């Protein structure tokens, strides 16, 4: 769907289309990254060079902490909230279903 086609859609339909485009771009990005990791000759372009490096990080094993010190874990949990917009699909018969599952026709 072209950008001009999506501009006339209701906001929920437009958001779903934008998310589909983002997903397609993320899939393309993952494929390009895999290619450049596997093939060093693919890392140099006309305008850019990809630098591949391994980054090591340490993370807290929350499950182990919870298992060993359940009270300390519970006392130190932080609560946060955010606003989320979920897109649901409308089937041909008007039923509202998850947009993540394929629609049945």
For residues 36 and 32, what is the distance between their CA atoms, to the nearest angstrom? 6
- Whether 82 is covered by a domain: the verdict is yes
- Whether 91 is covered by a domain: the verdict is yes
- Whether 104 is covered by a domain: the verdict is no
**Token pair recorded at residue 93:** 């018969």
* pLDDT tens track for 34-49: 999 999 999 999 999 9
87 pLDDT band (50/70/90 cuts)? confident
Residue 90: name the closest of 1, 23, 22, 10 by CA.
Answer: 10
Boundaries of domain holding 55:
3-98
The larger pLDDT score, comparing residue 11 to residue 102, is at: 11
CA 94 to the chain's CA centroid: 28
Q: Is the pLDDT of residue 3 over 70?
A: no
* pLDDT tens track for 8-63: 899 999 999 999 999 999 999 999 999 999 999 999 999 999 999 999 999 999 99
For residues 62 and 70, what is the distance between their CA atoms, to the nearest angstrom? 10
100 pLDDT band (50/70/90 cuts)? confident
- Whether 103 is covered by a domain: the verdict is no
What length does the chain have? 105
Please state the domain count of the chain: 1
Residue 87: name the closest of 23, 36, 17, 8 by CA.
Answer: 17
Confidence (pLDDT) at 77 = 94
For residues 38 and 36, what is the distance between their CA atoms, to the nearest angstrom? 5
């Amino acid at each position: 769907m072209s950008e001009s086609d999506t501009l006339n859609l209701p906001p929920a339909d437009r958001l779903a289309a934008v998310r589909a485009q983002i997903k397609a771009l993320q899939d393309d990005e993952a494929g390009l990254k895999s290619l450049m990791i596997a093939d060093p000759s693919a890392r140099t372009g006309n305008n850019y060079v990809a630098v591949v490096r391994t980054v090591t990080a340490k993370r807290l094993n929350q499950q182990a902490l919870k298992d060993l010190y359940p009270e300390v874990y519970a006392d130190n949990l932080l609560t946060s909230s955010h606003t989320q917009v979920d897109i649901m699909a409308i089937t041909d018969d008007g039923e509202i279903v998850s947009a993540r599952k394929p629609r049945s026709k």
